[in-house]
Amino acid sequence: MQELVIRRPDDWHLHLRDGGVLRGVIADTSRHFARAIIMPNLVPPVVTSADAAAYRERILAAIPAGDRFEPLMTLYLTEGTDPADVEAGFRSGLIKAVKLYPAGATTNSHSGVRDITKAMPVLERMAEIGMPLCVHGEVTTPEVDIFDREAAFIETVLDPLRRRLPDLRITMEHVTTKDGIDYIKEHAANLAGSITTHHLIINRNAILVGGIKPHYYCLPVAKRETHRLALRAAAVSGDVRFFLGTDSAPHVDPLKECACGCAGIYTSVNTLSCLAHVFEEEEALDRLEAFTSLNGPAWYGLPVNEETITLRKGGEPVRYPAKVETDAGPITVFDPMFPLHWAVV
């Protein structure tokens, strides 16, 4: 197969940041993607519907002329989040989901939840109205090894929460382990998982072998090869519970290339090329559309995009920029460590 036509894709987990970074990166998504779930972990975070409305306007103002792109807004869950505001935002159509960050789990998560029982009034309201909860599925207790934090979260937080609120729709975002994949497969009701581009390609060796590679450092951190293979199998399976959420997370290079670098990999530039490569390797190009364009809308209750895009495979590798220049500084683009031959026409 040298050419593939698919429905225009969506990104169900995207960081756009704000200010100069937002203005510098938005085109890399709006060029090919129709919609994206926008992460709310700004400084300060997007906590209220008013915050989300203002952030949405800043995003819309940054979209290049001629691009058709819809930001799908989320709220940052805190222990003081107002259930009435959450419900009003959801019923108005402005807010599509609420994001649970365990405090300290990742970038700008320090305002997140430390005691989930204190957020229960919001979660109970969300279960009543059918509003999705997106979770960063890692515990932050220091005694748990960083490579085990997803499995520990499933056991100590996610499973008890689902037993208490079985009607709550939960997206387990950026699944990184076989444990997470298996848990979703075993529990069909009200549970789905997004998978990133980079976790289908790298394992933890990419970060550590031959020296520290800061541009492969993300949270949740990449795991062993056995977990990467489990993610691949889920992504290419066609299972409606798994869909693309890139977790493309831009940081300017000085914040990555330092003694205590930020977590995040910027994949928006070449995600579709990378995914076509992965699905071709797995002999599953016929299921790429389900992963990028069909399963996510089904989960979030939105129509499938009517527009299509065409991916074409060429003989010469596609040349992507090594960095994206923004008003805030340069951002390094994800390098999959193999040549890419598929590109959007």
Q: Is 25 helix (H, G, I), strand (E, B) or coil?
A: helix
Burial class, 335, CB count within 10 angstroms (exposed 0-12 / middle 13-18 / buried 19+) = middle
Query: Does 187 belong to an annotated binding site?
Result: no
| 305 annotated to a ligand binding site | no
174 is in an annotated binding site: yes
Structure tokens at 337: 């460590």
For residue 341, say whether it is annotated as part of any ligand binding site.
no
Q: What are phi and psi of 242, to 5 degrees?
A: -120, 135
Under DSSP, is residue 270 helix (H, G, I), strand (E, B) or coil?
coil
136 known member of a binding site:
yes
Does 16 show up as a binding residue in the annotation? yes
Query: Where does residue 174 rank: exposed (0-12), middle (13-18), buried (19+ CB within 10 A)?
Result: buried
Residue 301 near residue 10, CB atoms below 8 Å: no
41 is in an annotated binding site: yes
Q: Which of 247, 286, 327, 335 is catalytic?
A: 247
Instruction: Determine whether the annotation assigns residue 99 to a binding site.
Output: yes
**247 is known to lie in a ligand binding site:** yes
Is 247 labeled as catalytic in the residue annotation? yes
Task: List strand residue ranges (DSSP E) for 101-200, in order.
Answer: 133-135, 170-172, 191-195
- Determine if residue 287 is labeled as part of a ligand binding site: no
98 touches 122 (CB < 8 A): yes
State the binding site: 13, 15-17, 41, 99, 136, 174, 219, 247, 251, 263
State the binding site for Zn(2+): 13, 15, 99, 136, 174, 247
State the binding site for substrate: 15-17, 41, 136, 219, 251, 263
Q: Among all residues, which ones are annotated catalytic?
A: 247
